[in-house]
């Protein structure tokens, strides 16, 4: 059952999906309706009882903080790997001329062996376990979205059946100053589904339909879910890939884990007929190759250090 919170985002209890379907069919239907409403209104919601152990989430955030506390020369040993679908390894993200964010991009565990840091002890294992659990959660959320969209059973699962493009981003934002609290500029996520595990510092904000920025307050044990551009296009604009940002807080280091449940880059993306021709509506987006869209996004300056008008987003394909 959904509940309200400081960010005004619904909190969806996924417990009914972890028992036999017949035992709580009503609970599943209620949770699915709540997810659908959230996708129509903001594209953001919290989930609880999601199958990712709290102890694992807490351990991963604690070890992540220890990793980012290492000397720069140690972190610099984690270099981006060649020949991978996304850049990986440790990197600084500058805002203007001052480094105020850093991250560690982690791809599929099979690619970690030579790249991934062994210190602090247990960090690699914790993130590998998070990776596995987030994939499981992604598959569940994808099934729920399939139902929310009224698609044939298993449609999204067959459409998005390759998990090699999924990745985790471990992030560290330095404290804000009186002059600047920018963390991550407003943007929409490019893929299918994003999970955010944030510490108690907060800072994530989502723009409401009235144009006001609303904080996504941390809720213990919850994971923030948002849908990306792919789901917005498939639904012909019915589901929202919402604009969001991160604002840094004074005197506080912020740590978060972000998991991207992606689409393979050879996939074709266009409004589904169930949201366009079958219901007598014109497509709102031109069809496109997902990999080409990724390349367009990569060619532009990073949203942390570039002007909003220089960022290619999904409106590039709008009709």
Q: pLDDT tens per residue, the chain (319 residues)?
A: 444 444 579 999 999 999 987 788 999 999 999 999 999 999 999 999 999 999 999 999 999 999 999 988 888 777 655 555 555 777 776 543 345 778 887 776 655 555 666 789 888 889 889 999 999 999 999 999 999 999 999 999 999 999 988 998 899 988 888 777 777 888 899 999 999 999 999 999 999 878 889 999 999 999 999 999 999 999 999 999 999 999 888 889 999 999 999 999 999 999 999 999 899 999 999 999 999 999 888 765 544 444 544 567 899 999 9
Dist CA 98 CA 8 (whole Å): 33
> What is this structure's pTM?
0.90
Rounded to 10 degrees, the C-alpha dihedral 186/252/59/53 comes to -50
Q: Does CATH number 2.60.120.330 belong to domain 54-317?
A: yes
**Quick check: helix, strand or coil at residue 155?**
helix
Q: Which candidate, 242, 267, 181, places its Cα nearest to that of 39?
A: 242
Structure tokens at 113: 């062996």
Domain range summary for the chain, segments of one domain joined by +: 54-317
């Amino acid at each position: 059952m959904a509940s309200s919170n400081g960010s005004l985002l619904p909190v969806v209890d996924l417990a009914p999906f972890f028992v036999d379907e017949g035992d709580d069919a009503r609970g599943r239907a209620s949770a699915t309706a709540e997810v659908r409403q959230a996708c129509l209104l903001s594209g953001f919601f919290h989930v609880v009882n999601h199958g990712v152990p709290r102890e694992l989430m807490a351990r991963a955030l604690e070890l992540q903080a220890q990793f980012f506390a290492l000397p720069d020369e140690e972190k610099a040993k984690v270099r981006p790997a060649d020949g991978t679908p996304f850049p990986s390894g440790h990197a600084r993200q500058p805002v203007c001329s001052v480094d105020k964010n850093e991250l560690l991009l982690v791809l599929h565990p099979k690619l970690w062996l030579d790249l991934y840091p062994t210190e602090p002890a247990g960090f690699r294992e914790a993130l590998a376990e998070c990776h596995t659990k987030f994939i499981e959660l992604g598959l569940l959320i994808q099934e729920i979205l399939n139902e929310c969209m009224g698609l044939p059973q298993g449609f999204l699962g067959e459409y998005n059946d390759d998990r090699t493009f999924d990745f985790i981003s471990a992030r560290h934002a330095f404290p804000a100053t009186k002059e600047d609290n920018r963390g991550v500029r407003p943007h929409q996520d490019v893929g299918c589904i994003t999970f955010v595990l944030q510490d108690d510092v907060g800072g994530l904000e989502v723009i409401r339909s009235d144009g006001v920025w609303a904080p996504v307050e941390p809720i213990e044990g919850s994971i923030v879910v948002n849908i990306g551009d792919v789901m917005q296009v498939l639904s012909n604009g019915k589901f929202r890939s919402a604009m969001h940002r991160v604002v840094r807080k004074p005197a506080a280091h912020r740590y978060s884990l972000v998991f991207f449940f992606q689409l393979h880059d050879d996939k074709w993306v266009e409004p589904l007929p169930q949201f366009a021709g079958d219901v007598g509506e014109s497509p709102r987006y031109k069809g496109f190759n997902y990999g080409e869209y990724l390349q367009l996004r990569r060619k532009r300056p990073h949203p942390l250090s570039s002007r909003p008008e220089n960022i290619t987003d999904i409106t590039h394909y709008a009709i």
